[in-house]
Amino acid sequence: MAADEPAEDDGRSRPQPARGERMPRWLPRAMVLALALFAAFQLASWAFHQLIGLLVNILIAFFVALAVEPAVDRMAGRGMRRGLATALVFLGVVTFFAGFFVLLGSMLAGQIVDLVENFPSYVDSVIRWINDTFHTSLSRVDIQTSLLKSDWLKRYVQNSASGVLDVSATVLGGLFQALTVLLFSFYLAADGPRLRRAVCSVLPPARQAEVLRAWEIAVVKTGGYLYSRGLMALISGFAHYALLEVLGVPYAPALGLWVGVISQFIPTIGTYLAGALPVLLAFTVNPWYAVWVLGFVVVYQQFENYLLQPRITARTVDMHPAVAFGSVVAGTALLGAVGALIAIPATATLQAFLGAYVRRYDVTDDHRVDGRRPRRGPGTPLVVRFWRWLRRHR
């Protein structure tokens, strides 16, 4: 063999990778699977945030359908088609609220006209009271001139002009949301049996009974919750009507109805919306009457929140007052006004459903359970023992 001829490579001269340094066969597949799961999670999170408004509307519609389902079932049980019965129930509800707002709108329009016409006299009376009380020399002409020349008024007019579009967009968005909830609730109530059948068709027989039982509990608890709100609306409306009638404020019955309905069925801001209109109309009669009405609204709201509402809710939905109050707070923290509205029926439904699966035992007869002290047995009275002690220590 020649000296410069390359040696034949038999494969043993190259270094071989160690066994521990080789990449496992499952690692590339695991990395691809992890990336796919991460991408799916990101996509699901993005879709959830985009559809959160629709999901909340469907949740509201579900509870509305539960509320009207007893009336629809009663009408359908008498031979009426379920779709027609649902349409009649919703037509009645919409007609009631439409008439309610039209009546109050016409009343409010008339009062606003009177307020604008008599506004100079109201201003003069307030200025006269300020001059007599604080010994000042204010005049309406000077106040009007200073207001017209102030920078604050110019900025307010500019902001109001630019905010008209925002208010219009908010109103249109609210109307669209209301129509969406109404449409979903109509379909859920009209196709309630079909929906229950579709849900039960994918469950075993034992689970089907549990789902139907939970559905029935939800209907009962939601109806009890609406009954409690209606009862509180009646009490609130009558209380405010009595005050406005005593003060001589016009349209006292309509204002009492306004306060009762708005404060109970619009969560969070309903109280402030309900109290603003009576305060405004009371101001047209006497400014001091507006102060009285405002104070009564605040005091009654505290009475309702801490005494009336927990007791009525405990009776109608069979829930402890503390649990009802805590559920409203938690619902408000999670979903805002919507959470405050549906928190009590949702919690009552969950509590009643879980209560069937909690095993209960007889409570032992112990004084510590009822918080009472054990009775002492018969013995020497305290006065006699004290007298004996004095005689021994003389």
Note the pLDDT tens digit of each residue in 348-382.
Answer: 778 777 776 666 677 777 666 666 665 555 555 66
* Rounded Cα distance, 223 and 230, in Å: 10
In Å, what is the CA distance from 392 to each residue of 139, 385, 389? 88, 11, 5
Does 321 or 251 have the greater pLDDT score?
A: 251
Q: Model confidence at 282, in pLDDT bands (50, 70, 90)?
A: confident
For residues 365 and 17, what is the distance between their CA atoms, to the nearest angstrom?
78
More confident residue, 40 or 10: 40
Q: Provide the residue type at 202 as one letter.
A: V
In 10 A of CB 292, how many CB atoms? Answer: 17
Looking at per-residue pLDDT, the higher value among 393 and 282 belongs to 282
CA triplet 339, 306, 317: central angle to 5 degrees?
A: 55
Residue 19 is classified by DSSP as: G
The domain spans of the chain are: 52-148+171-202, 205-357
Over range 218-242, report the average pLDDT: 86
| pLDDT given for residue 43 in this prediction | 94
- pLDDT tens readout for residues 146-196: 766 666 666 666 665 555 566 667 777 778 888 888 899 998 888 888 888
Give the model's pLDDT for residue 166.
65
The burial class, CB within 10 Å (0-12 / 13-18 / 19+), for 157 is exposed
Show Cβ contacts of residue 107 under 8 Å, excluding neighbours closer than 6 positions: 251, 254
pLDDT exceeding 90 applies to what percent of the chain? Answer: 8
* 295: confidence class by pLDDT, cuts 50, 70, 90: very high
Alpha-carbon distances, residue 182 vs 195, 225, 295 (angstroms): 17, 19, 37
Nearest to 59 by CA among 334, 293, 365, 355: 334
Q: Mean pLDDT, the chain, as a whole number?
A: 78
152: Cβ contacts below 8 Å, ≥ 6 apart = none
How would residue 16 be classed by pLDDT, with cut points 50, 70 and 90?
low
- Taking only the tens place, the pLDDT of each residue in 301-321 is 888 877 887 777 777 777 776
pLDDT of residue 383: 65
**Residue bearing tokens 């306004």:** 258
**pLDDT classification of 1: cutoffs 50, 70, 90:** very low
Q: Between these two residues, 18 and 337, which has the higher pLDDT value?
A: 337
Distance CA(342)–CA(330), nearest Å, equals 11
Task: Write the DSSP assignment of 228-244 as a string of letters.
Answer: HHHHHHHHHHHHHHHHH
Model confidence at 39, pLDDT cuts 50, 70, 90, reads very high
Contact between 195 and 188 (Cβ < 8 Å):
yes
Rounded to the nearest angstrom, the gap between the alpha carbon of residue 42 and the centroid of all alpha carbons in its chain is 30
Q: Compute CA 16 distance to the chain's CA centroid, rounded to the nearest angstrom.
A: 70
Query: What is the C-alpha radius of gyration for the chain, rounded to an integer number of angstroms?
Result: 35
- Identify whether the C-beta of residue 185 lies closer than 8 Å to the C-beta of residue 58: no
Question: What's the rounded mean pLDDT across residues 262-270?
Answer: 74
Q: Taking 60 as the threshold, does the pLDDT of residue 8 lie above it?
A: no
Q: For 69-127, write each residue's pLDDT tens digit.
A: 888 888 888 888 988 999 999 999 889 888 877 877 776 677 667 767 777 777 777 78
